[in-house]
Structure 1
Amino acid sequence: MSGDRKDDHVRLATEQNRDRHRRNDFDDVRFVHHALGAADIEAVSLRTRVGAMDWPVPLYINGMTGGSDATAIVNRDLAVVARETGIPIASGSMSPVFKDRDTTGGFRVLREENPSGIVLANLSANATPEQAHEAVGILGADALQIHVNAVQELVMPEGDRSFTHWPENIASIAASLDVPVVVKEVGFGMSGETVAELARLGVGVVDVSGRGGTDFAAIENARRTGADFAVLSGWGQSAVGGLLDSRAAAEDARVTLLASGGVRTPLDVVRALALGASAVGVAGGFLRILRQDGRDALIAEIRRWLEQITAITALLGQTSPAGLRNTDVVITGEVREFCQARGIDITAYATRRGTGKDTLS
């Protein structure tokens, strides 16, 4: 049953995110410190533009769950957290609504508990325009996330096996909605070629959602008899690799990039913003805190993140998330190797502050 699968996802995702400090590609991104270059903290504003939307902060709770009694409780708690901290929130996939109408309330609670906040609905690339309109209506959503997850579907025992219709579906949904459409991976990354294609399909916001966080291939493999798909462990690009690979295409097409996947700390958020993201999403790490320590603990943790994002932004001499694209960044290790293989010039990232210009502006 779908509800059982959703409960499995929450349990396995929580188990995966126990080691919140394990190394990933964000560690290959280092800032050059300028000892006399800090800005005044009170001058910093965390407001950011995401496509046509104005967000109060560049941090959001990314889509996680829904579709069962247990996940409805999780969604209620997350909605309260979003309301109390002022950060945007995305729902998990609302596909269960179209199979069992009794699950609707477990998603609607995201708006009921957070009436004035920014809320994103979420559907798969299999959705129809009619379903997209209904999902947006159920949440009074400010935008719709469409998740693309071919890797997860292939490993999922009951998953989809047909994918060539996805581009046409995405274009139809984007053309029919009067709210922004955000296309996101579920943890396997985006390439520059994919971002360019999504722009041609009418999509204005893309979440590169890379590996390093919750691994849905591993989750679905754990649900398989024999766990015989371990070969796909570590598949895809990281959020860092996705941002670097996609920035030229995004700039050319005026697409806003978001980042998620493997975001462990406020410093990782600032790193992603410096590499071109307009906002950064966290899912598994926040879910672990919620389930382990409770709602109040997660509220306190997110407030601490926002305080530290503000402080690090000032330390880097900037007063806004967009300004972080003018900071000096040195890229090393496996990310550097990835960029060399993909023909991405990373040398200019290390000397941006002196020019006062983004690498691609």
Structure 2
Amino acid sequence: MSRSERKWDHIRYALANQQKSVFAFDDIKFIHQSLPNISTFDVRLDHSIGELYLSSPIFINAMTGGGGDRTYRINKELAQVARDTGLAMAVGSQMAAIKDKTEKYTFEVVRKENPSGIVIANLGSEAAADQAKEAVDMIEANALQIHLNVIQELTMPEGDRDFTRALKRIEAIVRAVEVPVIVKEVGFGMSRETVESLASIGVSLVDVGGFGGTNFAEIENKRRERELSFFADWGIPTPISIIEASSIADHSISIIGSGGFRGAIDVVKGIAIGAEAIGMAGFFLKTLVQKGIDTLREEIDRLHQEITLIMTALGATSIADIKRTPLIISGDTYHWLNQRGIDTKKFSQRSIK
């Protein structure tokens, strides 16, 4: 099977994939503020994350490209939505276009449709520094994602089996490119130890890509003759991964949350427990393909309106304020964090006043 055909397989299976019922977000409850003392007109959604200025706490996370005309059309329409709503947008892995130059147009369309927006390039951890530079130049990217997908590759029939020296390659890329590097998991979460390793080589942005969103183990299992069922429930739930990542001693690293965000309340919870921004992919893809570009624009506008309402209820006028709102962590999430030696009481004792 060609790389292009595999790319389209991933889209087809992602559209059919049912999001896992992961209730870790339900373990997080905000403490109600009866006197928030602000208006909805006071709320601002724009903020900076590292060197990137974002007009919204949500962005369109990596999905596709490199699969011919069908992936070209998806990226074109996503770029139009990003332009019209002011969202940043990441493309899917560009290795297909680096190895087959005829696929470059499926990625280049993103910058053509959104000439002034924040566009994020994407490669896997197998990439060399010169390939990273090529990916950034291909779409005049403002940042570069390096994705980690060990479980996907191990489940993929034709996937990689050697993950040695990945950290060294990422370090070389961080030193070689002139844009911020975001290291991203693809749906299995990052542990505190992983984030500490990345911080030690100069990575300043991580996307935890937690368990709960598009499940690439399930997608790859559908392409196998014999399923590796033990990988279907593998991973760290997104809220737990955000808290693990934000608990490291090096506070210079910024956390992005992605994986299974179901709506505005999950977005605000993700920020409250440590994320600087929230990436969404599967929900946006399904809305675009099944309901069209206009509906996707409306859904993003609705998300912004609902985030604003929730922030008003909390008394939070900015993204930074959300991180000071008190909340309670219970259930399996509390148990996991307690076992890992992470103190959850600090979340309940803080104050936005």
Q: 1:149 deviation in Å? A: 0.6
Displacement of 1:23 in angstroms is 4.5
Deviation per residue, 1:52-99 (Å, 9 max, x gap):
111111100000111112111111111011011100000000010122
Moved more, 157-166 or 29-38: 29-38
Separation in 1, partners of 2:297, 2:129: 35
Whether the 8 Å CA contact 2:98–2:135 is kept in 1: the answer is no
Task: Using the TM superposition, give the Cα deviation of residue 202 of structure 1 relative to its aligned residue in structure 2, in angstroms.
Answer: 1.2
CA distance in 2, matches of 1:311, 1:140: 35
* Counterpart code for 1:91: V
Q: Distance in 2 between matches of 1:98 and 1:248?
A: 37
Q: Distance in 1 between matches of 2:336 and 2:172?
A: 34
Q: Which residue of 1 aligns with 2:150?
A: 150
Q: Show structure 1 runs of 5+ residues with no match.
A: 357-361
The aligned runs of 1:175-190 (5 Å cut-off) are 175-190=175-190
Q: How does 1:282-361 map to 2 (within 5 A)?
A: 282-353=280-351
Conservation of the 8 A alpha-carbon contact between 2:184 and 2:206:
yes
Q: How many Å separate the matches in 1 of 2:37 and 2:289?
A: 37
Query: 1:212-231 residue pairs with structure 2 within 5 A?
Result: 212-226=212-226, 228-231=227-230
Contact 1:39/1:316 (8 A) holds in 2:
no
Structure 1 Cα separation of the partners of residues 169 and 304 of structure 2: 36
- Secondary structure at the aligned position of 1:211 is classed as coil
Could you tell me which residue of structure 2 aligns to residue 359 of structure 1?
none
Q: Which residue of 2 aligns with 1:174?
A: 174
Query: Could you list the runs of 4 or more consecutive aligned residues of structure 1 that deviate by over 2 angstroms after TM superposition?
Result: none
| TM-score (ref. length: structure 1) | 0.95
1:234 is matched with which residue? 233
SS in 1 for 2:147: strand
Unpaired segments ≥5 residues, structure 2: none
Q: What pairs up with 1:102-181 in 2 under 5 angstroms?
A: 102-181=102-181
Deviation at 1:162, TM superposition (A): 0.7
Instruction: Name which of structure 1's ranges 113-122 and 65-74 shifts more when overlaid on structure 2.
Output: 65-74
Q: Which residue of 2 aligns with 1:56?
A: 55
- Counting aligned pairs with the same residue, the percent is 43
Conserved? CA contact 1:144–1:181, under 8 Å = yes
Residue 6 of structure 2 is matched in structure 1 by 5
- Given that residues 127 and 169 in structure 1 are in contact (C-alpha distance below 8 angstroms), is that contact kept between their aligned partners in structure 2? yes
The DSSP-based 3-state class of the residue aligned with 2:206 is strand
Partner-residue secondary structure (3-state), 1:26: helix
Distance 2:239 2:169 in 1: 28
Measured after TM superposition, the shift of residue 253 of structure 1 is 4.2
Question: Shift in Å at residue 120 of structure 1?
Answer: 0.1
Query: Is residue 81 from structure 1 mapped to residue 48 from structure 2 by the alignment?
Result: no
User: How far apart are 1:252 and its partner, in Å?
Assistant: 2.0
Residues 294-336 of structure 1: CA distance to partner in whole angstroms, max 9, x if unpaired?
A: 0110011001101111121111011111111111111111111
Give 1:46 shift. Answer: 0.8
RMSD, aligned CA: 1.3
Deviation at 1:234, TM superposition (A): 1.5
Cα displacement (A) at 1:37: 2.0
Contact 1:196–1:253 (CA under 8 A) maintained in structure 2: no
| Letter of the 1:340 counterpart | N
The Cα offsets for residues 39-62 of structure 1, whole Å up to 9 and x where unpaired, read as 211111111221111111110000
